[in-house]
Amino acid sequence: MSKETKRTFTFYSAWDYEREEKDLDRASEQGWQLLKAGLFSSKFVKNPDLRYRYQLDYREIEDKARYLETFREQGWEYVDSTFNGWHYFRKVYDPDLPEEAYRIFTDEESLREMNGRWIRLALGMGAVIGAFLLAYLVWMILRPKLPTLFFLLSFLLLSVMLVRGALVMKRSETRRARSHEGAIFLTFIAAILLCLITGTVLAALRPSMNSDMQAGSVDRPIVDERWNEFSAPYTDFYYLDLEFEAPVPMTFRVLDKQGGVVYSASGVSFCEKGIRLRLPRGTYEFSMDVSSGYRLDLKIR
């Protein structure tokens, strides 16, 4: 008969690992013993005949055999490790033993050392994310648009979450008193994912259109010739690259659905990139007036 197993899906922040330890202890008391740990999911096997107390350690291991032997000598059974550096240990529970017997780190100095390893990682990650945040901030100033704003917000929230986590991890006593830490972490994750998804969807919806037109001559003057209808799916800044030339002055326009002029440029020669147009949601057209041969290249995005 195969063993009964189950899988749980729970999110834990690194600085809230003590809550995960308590949840593992509670599951063990109910007869579910950890089989395989995961970053977002863990697998358990049913064994009501045993009860364990669990502890987690965070570190990079160079000599795994020696590392595990050190814990084994102290009565800890190795269970599993996650790819991001967390290692799971357990010890058979004996109610006659003091609570200190079920702690890997029995002194504050060792605990601070373990916490410090994660804090250094978090601050390093925060520095990298901060560089992306700065890049998006500069890009938002130079070329503002909604997708960039949501990506900027996602990096900002991620930076705040990591810095906050480092501060909470540093204050171990404060961390132990926080019963709502899991809800705060999930709120951050949900907000970050919402910003990333929103930014991705808005970027995918943006129009991207090229138009290359030229004529060596025209039979009669072209007046308000319209072409290439395009839609702005939401109100935002859109950017136009425009280049045209003709022997005599010509006029180019961007028109809204009612024929109103949103943008226009005239001359015998014109070349400008990144023309900022604030377009409300709606449908638009290009229009031109020219009485001679011409060449026109444009791109809107």
pLDDT lower than 50: segments of the chain: 1, 174, 177
Q: What is the pLDDT of residues 151-189, one digit of tens each?
A: 999 999 999 998 888 888 777 554 554 567 778 888 999
Task: Give the structural domain span for 82.
Answer: 5-104
Query: Would strands 282-290 and 236-256 be described as parallel, antiparallel, or unpaired?
Result: antiparallel
Q: Kindly report the backbone phi and psi dihedral angles of residue 217, in degrees, each rounded to the nearest multiple of 5, phi listed first.
A: -160, 165
Say whether both 34 and 122 belong to one domain: no
Q: Count CA atoms closer than 13 A to 208's CA, side-chain side.
A: 5
> What is the reported pLDDT for 13?
83
Say whether both 198 and 215 belong to one domain: no
Q: What is the pLDDT of residues 62-84, one digit of tens each?
A: 888 998 998 999 899 999 998 88
Distance of CA 297 to the CA centre of its chain: 36
Say whether both 187 and 214 belong to one domain: no
**Which of 160, 181, 205 is at the close of a domain?**
205
Q: How many helices (H) and strands (E) does the chain have?
A: 6, 12
Say whether both 218 and 296 belong to one domain: yes
Say whether both 199 and 249 belong to one domain: no
22-53: burial string, b at 16+ Cβ within 10 Å, e else: ebbbebbeeebbbbebeeeebebeeeeeebbb
**Which of 104, 120, 141 is at the close of a domain?**
104
Q: Helix, strand, or coil here: 93?
A: coil
**Helix H or strand E encompassing 112:** helix 108-142
Say whether both 175 and 218 belong to one domain: no
Q: Kindly report the backbone phi and psi dihedral angles of residue 81, in degrees, each rounded to the nearest multiple of 5, phi listed first.
A: -135, 150
Say whether both 169 and 232 belong to one domain: no
> What is the reported pLDDT for 122?
80
Total domains, the chain: 3
Say whether both 100 and 114 belong to one domain: no
175-197: burial string, b at 16+ Cβ within 10 Å, e else: beebeebbebbeebeebbeebbe
Say whether both 191 and 219 belong to one domain: no
> What is the reported pLDDT for 45?
95
Say whether both 227 and 256 belong to one domain: yes
Strand partners, 117: none
pTM: 0.76
Say whether both 77 and 19 belong to one domain: yes
Say whether both 201 and 233 belong to one domain: no
**Which of 181, 205, 229 is at the close of a domain?**
205
CB count within 10 Å of CB 94 equals 11
CATH number at residue 258: 2.60.120.380
> What is the reported pLDDT for 1?
43
